[in-house]
Amino acid sequence: MTTLGTIGVCATGAAGAFQVVRGVQNVNLKQVGGGGISFLVSGSTLTAAPILIHGGAAVTGKLSADKLKKELGKMQCTALSSLESDVRQLNQMTGSGVSNSNQYDVLCKLLKQRREFLDQADQKKKREIIESFLSYAAKGGPQIAWGTMLTRAGYKYYDNPVKSFRGIAQAATVNEVSWGNWMLDTVQKGARNEWSYYKDGKRSVEERPFDVSNPKLVELLNQNR
């Protein structure tokens, strides 16, 4: 969905830019107005991109979850709570220190650590979705304004080149806001990702539930041999 949306934004934007340039060269201001319409489509597509991207991801995720649920039932959702309850009952019946009980204790800790990891990832994803809507609105909004002003300059003032060209210049200035937002957003995303990778690299092995070197996982594997 991201690729298709990007192609749509770039294709309509390129068509609009070509029409505006040709319209100015030929002093055909109605052609400039046609380019403005192309930029309106481009800006609107850019603003709506989060709906396409996250909406597509939500539909795909729902279909995948339903398929997994048919295969696993409710086991995945209740495994941790059921295991914790069973381990407590086992400890009460057999006493602590039993080898099987130790394995279940380790498994409980691993599953709990995994759930905490997934919950943090889910919160991060929700924050990214909100930021995505704000970011695309900041990029697409000025492009919509740019397209509107070009359309107005081309169709309303087609018989007055002075006013039309002034409107084109103003529209181009408004569009710089879009490119500025895009540049700043790219920089901040790159910096944030690098900082996140740095922090992940500083995490101990014990804090990585999926790491094969996690001592709890190694302990569980050794106990099952």
Of 10-14, 18-22, 179-183, 215-219, which gets the smallest average pLDDT? Answer: 215-219
- Structural domain tally of the chain? 1
Half-sphere exposure of 147 toward its Cβ, with a 13 Å CA cutoff? 23
Residue 95's pLDDT band (cuts 50, 70, 90): low
Strands, DSSP E only, in 11-127? none
Give me the mean pLDDT over the 123-140 stretch: 87
Over residues 207-221, the pLDDT tens digits come to 666 666 777 777 766
Over residues 144-174, the pLDDT tens digits come to 998 999 898 889 888 888 888 888 888 888 8
Task: Quote the domain boundaries for residue 204.
Answer: 2-223
Give me the mean pLDDT over the 40-50 stretch: 89
C-beta neighbour count of 165 within 10 angstroms: 16
Highest mean pLDDT among 63-77, 122-136, 197-211: 122-136
